[in-house]
């Protein structure tokens, strides 16, 4: 899943950590028109738009977004203060959420976003200690062995950090990895997953029904 952030200033770290915990890749644009041009290519699940930076562009952006994706396909979150007339326009254009500038209530924002995200995304995320959960698998392209560690895990996916970024250089989005070995404490379980590239890491979405993986996540979320 991908998020487009449109704003002059760097994306707020509080929101960055929220989307990272959900396995959502963030792509930033300072030019709203450039972001509009790339909507079809990126297929964002979320757009986070700074109204304060571009007060005259959010309506154009939201209208262009809704020409391509409906409100169930892509969320449009606007950071800014709107008057009553603009709020009506926001609702008419099928915006998703308005976040006040300098909002301090991060948990409420997270709750609202999670309510609108697809139900398949888990709201429970576990962040292992360094080297706590290891993973090894055979790369489908050349059958070389890759090892590394899991940096976060939820009920249907996890993020994998390889020991060397070069090891995942030729892995492609939607590659299927079968019979990988996930190790924690003295236990090893086998999991199958589909990969999404997230820069130097991989988002690994569990495929097939893994009873052992479900049992593991249950123990982590106790």
Q: What is the sign of the dihedral through the CA atoms of 136, 140, 145 and 146?
A: negative
* Per-residue model confidence (pLDDT) at position 121: 47
Question: Which residue in the block uniquely carries the two structure tokens 């790339």?
Answer: 38
Provide CB contacts within 8 A for 179, sequence distance 6+: 137, 138, 190, 192
Q: Does any domain span residue 87?
A: yes
pTM over 0.75: no
Q: What's the CATH number where 25 sits?
A: 3.40.50.2300
The reply to whether 109 and 36 lie within a common domain is: yes
The reply to whether 84 and 155 lie within a common domain is: no
pLDDT tens sequence across 63-89: 999 999 998 788 899 988 899 999 999
Q: Does any domain span residue 127?
A: no
Element (H, E) at 29: strand 25-29
In whole angstroms, give the CA distance from residue 222 to residue 214.
Answer: 13
The reply to whether 104 and 182 lie within a common domain is: no
CA 118 centroid distance within chain: 12
The reply to whether 56 and 110 lie within a common domain is: yes
* Per-residue model confidence (pLDDT) at position 126: 81
The reply to whether 111 and 212 lie within a common domain is: no
Q: Which has the closest alpha carbon to 35: 15, 7, 10, 12? A: 7
The reply to whether 74 and 109 lie within a common domain is: yes
In whole angstroms, give the CA distance from residue 19 to residue 66.
Answer: 22
> CA 136 → CA 56, 129, 162, distances in Å?
50, 17, 9
How is residue 144 annotated by DSSP? Answer: -
Q: Residue 154 sits in which domain range?
A: 133-220
Q: Which has the closest alpha carbon to 85: 93, 76, 75? A: 93
The reply to whether 112 and 6 lie within a common domain is: yes
* Per-residue model confidence (pLDDT) at position 74: 87
* Per-residue model confidence (pLDDT) at position 62: 97
pLDDT tens sequence across 208-221: 878 889 888 888 86
Provide CB contacts within 8 A for 139, sequence distance 6+: 145, 146, 167, 170, 171
């Amino acid at each position: 899943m991908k998020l487009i952030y449109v704003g002059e200033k760097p994306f707020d770290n509080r929101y960055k950590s929220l989307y990272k915990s959900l396995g959502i890749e963030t792509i930033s644009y300072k030019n709203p028109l450039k972001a509009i041009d790339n909507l079809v290519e990126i297929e964002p699940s979320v757009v986070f738009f700074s109204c304060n930076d571009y007060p005259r562009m959010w309506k154009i952006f939201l209208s262009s977004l809704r020409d391509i994706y409906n409100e169930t396909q892509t969320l449009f979150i606007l950071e800014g203060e709107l008057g009553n007339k603009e709020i009506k326009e926001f609702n008419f254009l099928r915006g998703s959420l308005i976040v006040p500038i300098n909002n301090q209530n991060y948990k409420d924002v997270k709750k609202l976003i999670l309510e609108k995200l697809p139900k398949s995304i888990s709201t429970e995320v576990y962040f292992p200690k360094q080297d706590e959960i290891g993973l090894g698998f055979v790369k489908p392209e050349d059958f070389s062995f890759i090892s590394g560690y899991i940096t976060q895990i939820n009920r249907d996916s996890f993020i994998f950090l390889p020991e060397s970024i070069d090891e995942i250089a030729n892995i492609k989005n939607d590659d299927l990895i079968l019979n990988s070995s996930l190790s924690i404490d003295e236990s090893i379980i086998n999991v199958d997953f589909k990969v999404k590239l997230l820069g130097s890491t991989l988002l690994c979405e569990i495929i097939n029904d893994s009873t052992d993986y479900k049992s593991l996540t249950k123990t982590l979320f106790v």
